[in-house]
Chain A
């Protein structure tokens, strides 16, 4: 760590010194002097590890023997990995759509009401909680205590989970929410939505406020209101913001790891790619498989990033 900091100081000092000394340098040289350290760091810190990971994904568990595409074949054919990929697909479809939808509706509903600030704070708060913290909170919400047959009331365990207490009050049986697939994955997804809806709401609310008043006014004069206003004016006007929100949440969702690891540890068919990658690489010490999963994750993110960049560029052009 100290070495890295010292290195940074030395390099930057050198660059500044050179720039100071030679005022007559052509501008490309100055630019290069500033760019080179950055490029070097990206190469060593990002590009090289990426290439090394791709290389490792074609090797066996210790990275000693070349096995070709075996790891990938295994990832796509073996039952346990298929479950992992299926779960990741469900996560990445459900979370961005639902979180953005909730954020959008909420932003529209509270827009310019008396309680706007308070209502927004309420939804935004979960954003401030770490994923692990949120998972622990929700694990308590889902906590299960059975209703035991033939056991006197004083020995019946008391429900400590909010959800199961609600069920009991409604006269229903308490459930083990995190145990039975495939529903348990959705109960984990709820946690991610709970965290991300606040982010969607904040960005979209700002975008809604940026819609020029005259457009809204003109639409209203034309007789638009309620749902139709939302459908034909609000949504098209904030389209770039919507795209950014959906893609950002999708990228975050692909990387989700903390929630699964904290709440179920990937058991009960709830594992996702990022969690399985960690398990394979560091717990089971199968570096080849871990690398293959990391590459799959990387490949999955690329189209989303590309789409995001294209949309941003198009938005710039319009402006």
Chain B
């Protein structure tokens, strides 16, 4: 009871504070830099005229993004709401993936849903073809103008473009402490061999103190195992290349193909190597029982590990007050490729699908693909952890260094960008066998071959 009351109290305080921010923002103009398209009464509405007057209408948004990351989203809708008169009703749920399908089945879909997996979009289009609306005209125009072709492809099913990209994240990152690296004279590795050399060097230098080069955690409740799938995906890109990766995702080669087995072996040389893991957290099996959020913390808390491979959004997991920058407490380097020139990049993101074609829904979907929204969102996220693949996003609006690095990597067209494979595969594999088998691989020391065979057998 006490806890509930307190939580309500917090919510009340939070909403009052939010209101305060809003009022301050509306009365803005005193502080420099307030004259851009940030939330405010003095928003330049010129860019919004194309949407027309939408007064009195409401658009419902359903997502997997919950507190505290939801507030920047809600704030980023303010310019749209002020200029068009429409209201955006935001609802986040941790059970989003399952509940969205339940709502579709019940004939009660939201107007807009942020879908984090292209595979789920395919399932929805396949199972509920009448429920999901093709992307609105404004959306198509914006995506063609501001996004790379591949991003449009992820939101396309059977030749019809449904869902526009929203946020993006870079997964090929290794978190480390620049201060500790400098102290030990370690350099950021630029090739895979250098990375392994560095790991061996750390073992040689620090094994006697109980320190290990790597730490990891793959626990994530219902979704336990996904961080391990990211490892394998990153290594498939590095040992076999982008073409094999595409064949693998589309099941043109079996899941247990020798080329995939080679990549898994490479992952095992780090994750299942007792000398390398699991710094500060236990033996190899402790990777399975440690949540991914806690996985990298030993880098900071007691220095018992040096490196943690995790996506750009891991920035949010460092304790408050941590200096996340290239000369601060923690930062991330690009997970090296086979050589310094070949730099494949693994990433993920969300996609905006509409389940109605009312004018206000079409307008809102288009707004989310516009540079106005990307910039408003960047400004509404001062603590960092958010980037987009929208080329209209002004890098100056990204306040954190890690986001700037992510944006830079995403904008680099030289390298091969690939979307998270498990998010593209059918749910039975991507949200099922791939997760659970990788978990068994680590927790119960299941063999490489047995793991790959089991996942292949689960492919529908």
Tell me if chain B binds chain A.
Answer: yes
Q: Is the CB of A148 within 8 A of B457?
A: no
Q: Is the CB of B127 within 8 A of A176?
A: no
Also in contact, A265 and B221, with CB within 8 A (given A144-B289, A285-B101):
yes
* A175 vs B56: C-alpha distance when bound (angstroms): 60
Does A38 make an interface contact (CB < 8 A)? no
Smallest CB-CB separation from A62: which chain B residue? B127
Q: Is the CB of B460 within 8 A of A286?
A: yes
* A174 vs B440: C-alpha distance when bound (angstroms): 21
Total interface residues on B, CB under 8 Å, equals: 38
Also in contact, A265 and B222, with CB within 8 A (given A148-B304, A176-B286, A285-B123):
yes
Q: Which of A265-304 contact B (CB under 8 A)?
A: 265-269, 279, 282-286
Q: Is the CB of A178 within 8 A of B289?
A: yes
Q: Is the CB of B209 within 8 A of A179?
A: no
Q: Is the CB of A267 within 8 A of B102?
A: no
* A176 vs B439: C-alpha distance when bound (angstroms): 15
Q: Is the CB of A179 within 8 A of B302?
A: no
User: Which among B102, B208, B210, B439 is the interface contact of A268 at CB below 8 angstroms?
Assistant: B439
In the complex, chain A residues whose CB is within 8 Å of the CB of B300: none
Q: Which of A148-179 contact B (CB under 8 A)?
A: 148-152, 155, 157, 176, 178-179
* A280 vs B460: C-alpha distance when bound (angstroms): 12
Q: Name the segment of B36-44, B75-83, B307-315, B424-432 touching the other chain.
A: B424-432
How many Å from the CB of A269 to the closest CB on chain B? Answer: 7
Also in contact, A282 and B431, with CB within 8 A (given A146-B286, A150-B210):
no
User: Which among A62, A80, A179, A284 is the interface contact of B289 at CB below 8 angstroms?
Assistant: A179
In the complex, chain B residues whose CB is within 8 Å of the CB of A179: 285, 288-289, 443-444
Does B54 make an interface contact (CB < 8 A)? no
* A286 vs B101: C-alpha distance when bound (angstroms): 12
Does B224 make an interface contact (CB < 8 A)? yes
How many Å from the CB of A59 to the closest CB on chain B? Answer: 13
In the complex, chain A residues whose CB is within 8 Å of the CB of B302: 155
Smallest CB-CB separation from B123: which chain A residue? A285
How many Å from the CB of A296 to the closest CB on chain B? Answer: 19
Q: Which of B197-229 contact A (CB under 8 A)?
A: 207-211, 221-222, 224-225
Also in contact, A283 and B222, with CB within 8 A (given A79-B454, A80-B454, A148-B304):
yes
Q: Is the CB of B98 within 8 A of A62?
A: no
* A155 vs B460: C-alpha distance when bound (angstroms): 47
In the complex, chain B residues whose CB is within 8 Å of the CB of A68: none
Where chain A touches its partner, the secondary structure class is: loop
Smallest CB-CB separation from A177: which chain B residue? B289
In the complex, chain B residues whose CB is within 8 Å of the CB of A283: 97-98, 222, 427, 431-432
Interface string of B272-298 (1 = CB under 8 A from A): 000000001111011011000000000
How many Å from the CB of B2 to the closest CB on chain A? Answer: 16
In the complex, chain A residues whose CB is within 8 Å of the CB of B52: none
Smallest CB-CB separation from B225: which chain A residue? A267
* A79 vs B454: C-alpha distance when bound (angstroms): 9
In the complex, chain B residues whose CB is within 8 Å of the CB of A150: 207-210
Q: Is the CB of A267 within 8 A of B280?
A: no
* A285 vs B460: C-alpha distance when bound (angstroms): 11
Does B20 make an interface contact (CB < 8 A)? no
Also in contact, A286 and B304, with CB within 8 A (given A62-B127, A144-B282):
no
Q: Is the CB of A61 within 8 A of B460?
A: yes
Q: Is the CB of B210 within 8 A of A285?
A: no
Does B436 make an interface contact (CB < 8 A)? yes
Does B328 make an interface contact (CB < 8 A)? no
User: Which among B123, B127, B222, B281 is the interface contact of A146 at CB below 8 angstroms?
Assistant: B281
How many Å from the CB of B445 to the closest CB on chain A? Answer: 10
Smallest CB-CB separation from A78: which chain B residue? B457
Also in contact, A286 and B428, with CB within 8 A (given A62-B127, A265-B221):
yes
Q: Is the CB of A146 within 8 A of B283?
A: yes
Interface string of B104-129 (1 = CB under 8 A from A): 00000000000000000001001100
* A34 vs B458: C-alpha distance when bound (angstroms): 50
14 pairs, CB–CB < 8 Å, chain A vs chain B: A80-B436, A146-B283, A146-B286, A148-B304, A150-B209, A155-B210, A176-B282, A176-B289, A181-B444, A267-B224, A267-B288, A282-B102, A283-B222, A284-B427
Ranked nearest first, the 8 interchain pairs of A and B with the lowest CB-CB distance are: A146-B282, A151-B210, A150-B210, A282-B98, A284-B432, A155-B302, A284-B428, A284-B427
Binding site for B on A (CB under 8 A): 61-62, 78-80, 144-146, 148-152, 155, 157, 176, 178-181, 261, 265-269, 279, 282-286
Q: Known pairs A268-B288, A285-B428. 20 more at Cβ < 8 A? A: A62-B127, A80-B454, A148-B210, A148-B304, A150-B210, A151-B210, A155-B280, A155-B304, A179-B285, A265-B221, A265-B222, A265-B224, A267-B224, A267-B436, A282-B98, A282-B101, A283-B98, A283-B222, A283-B427, A283-B432
